[in-house]
Amino acid sequence: MKKLLSLFVALVALSGCSVFGADGGLFSGADCESRLARSFAENTTDIVYFDTDSSALSAEARAALDSQAAWLNSHDDVNVIVQGYCDERGTREYNLALGERRANAVKQYLVAKGVAEHRISTISYGKERPAVFGSNEAAWAQNRRAVTVVSSAE
């Protein structure tokens, strides 16, 4: 029993994440991270959209990123990953690069708003993971995006 308890303590220490729930209980580990992920998704606009072949941030995108920066600046111990995506109207390899460019544009904006650079990683999926299935402008507009998600908490 003592062994089990020490193992539990070690696990909590390893993941590092702990947060008090609304009922005052302490959450830790993966459960804690999923709570933080939900909090981020609920309290920020976690998706920004782009024009065709562009990584420029619109006023709407900047407002969304301001909400992300505000949340991140009040959760110093949370890291995020920015996922960059493209629509299907480009070539595969170029779109991988364009997705990275979009994710980086988001990252640089958050850094300028005071989020430490090391807390933000990026990944591009090019045109491989569309949010919406469809071959029309409405679908493409929703697929040209960058999504910020909680990756880990210290």
Q: Which two tokens stand for residue 24?
A: 């005052």
Q: Which stretch binds another protein (CB under 8 A): 4-12, 31-39, 63-71, 98-106?
A: 98-106
The distance of closest approach from Cβ of residue 123 to another protein in the complex, given in angstroms and rounded to an integer, is 5
Query: Considering the rule CB under 8 A, would residue 55 count as an interface residue with another protein?
Result: yes
Among 130, 144, 146, 150, binds another protein (CB under 8 A): 130
State which residue, 61 or 105, has the beta carbon closest to another protein.
Answer: 105
Q: Given the complex with another protein, which of 12 and 111 has the nearer CB atom? A: 111
Residue 145 DSSP symbol: E
Q: In 82-94, which positions are buried (b, 16+ CB within 10 angstroms) versus exposed (e)?
A: bbbbbbeebeeee
Q: Residue 105's closest CA among 54, 53, 71?
A: 54
19 DSSP assignment: E
List 30, 62, 129, 154, residue binding another protein (CB under 8 A):
129
CA distance between the termini of the chain:
28
Residues at the site binding another protein, with contacts judged by CB under 8 A: 53, 55, 81, 88-94, 96-98, 100-101, 104-105, 108, 121-125, 128-133, 135, 151
